[in-house]
Amino acid sequence: MQKLTKDFFLNDSVTNVAQELLGKVLFTNINGNISSGIIVETEAYCGRDDKACHAYNGKITKRNEVMYAQGGIAYVYLCYGMHNMLNVVTNTAGHADAVLIRAVEPLEGLSYMLARKQTSKIERISSGPGNVCKAFGIELIHNETDFGGNELWLEENPTHFDFEIRASTRIGVDYAGDDAKRLWRYSIKDNKWVSK
């Protein structure tokens, strides 16, 4: 098992990182309960010129300031009053880029995921950004968590496998005008854990 190194996150191209994160493994250790899963769907957000991004045009608020930090930490925020969203902050300090983790294929800790979601249905338990956080126990307190730590981290996939990347438009960003048309949502083609 090999954790992703710091320079993985410092890449200047957030769309490259979003694609490279596919196939990587997300881990959480919540009160000693370890869950993991393969990232199968991501979306890129770029502060510099992307209206869909919370940090568009240099906007800085208490919520999004973590996006301006050096890459390699988590940006977690509450959406619609009930769903947490997990983002991976990328690029060097001062560049507000982040990758939203939209769907994961479960590996370990399925029983913890079922318990957190209070369900017995495995189907789509970690498909969709709100479900990823719920299943993995990620909450607002994990905002700014360093991916180099032992609570929330990312690893290379120990099993090498080939897959085709599918690019499509991002979800729920219609307000962003032309930027909503960007093909910045990436998924592993034909993977059943990709969100609908």
d(CA 59, CA 50): 11
What kind and span of H or E run contains 54?
none
Binding of DNA by 192 (CB under 7 A): no
Q: Return the number of the residue (95 or 170) whose C-beta is nearest DNA.
A: 170
Inter-helix orientation angle 129-136/110-117, to 10°: 110
Q: Which of 8, 9, 27, 45 binds DNA (CB under 7 A)?
A: 45
From 14-22, 63-71, 147-155, 158-166, give the range in contact with DNA by CB under 7 A.
Answer: 63-71
DSSP string for residues in 94-128: T--EEEEEEEEEE-S-HHHHHHHHT-S--TTTTBS
Binding string, residues 7-36; x marks residues near DNA by CB under 7 A: ------------------------------
What kind and span of H or E run contains 20?
helix 14-20
Shortest distance, position 120 Cβ to DNA, whole Å: 11
From 20-28, 54-62, 150-158, 159-167, give the range in contact with DNA by CB under 7 A.
Answer: 54-62
Q: Which of 14, 28, 38, 54 binds DNA (CB under 7 A)?
A: 54
d(CA 91, CA 71): 5
Binding of DNA by 118 (CB under 7 A): no
The residue count of the chain comes to 196
Q: Which of 2, 31, 61, 159 binds DNA (CB under 7 A)?
A: 61
* Alpha-carbon distances, residue 103 vs 42, 51, 96, 173, 188 (angstroms): 7, 23, 22, 17, 10
Q: Which of 37, 71, 72, 129 binds DNA (CB under 7 A)?
A: 129
Binding string, residues 134-153; x marks residues near DNA by CB under 7 A: ------x-------------
Question: Given the structure tokens 């060097």, which residue do they identify?
Answer: 92
d(CA 110, CA 118): 12
Binding of DNA by 115 (CB under 7 A): no
Residues that bind DNA (CB under 7 A): 43, 45, 52-54, 59, 61-64, 67, 75, 77-83, 85, 87, 98, 100, 117, 124, 127-132, 140, 170-173, 175, 195
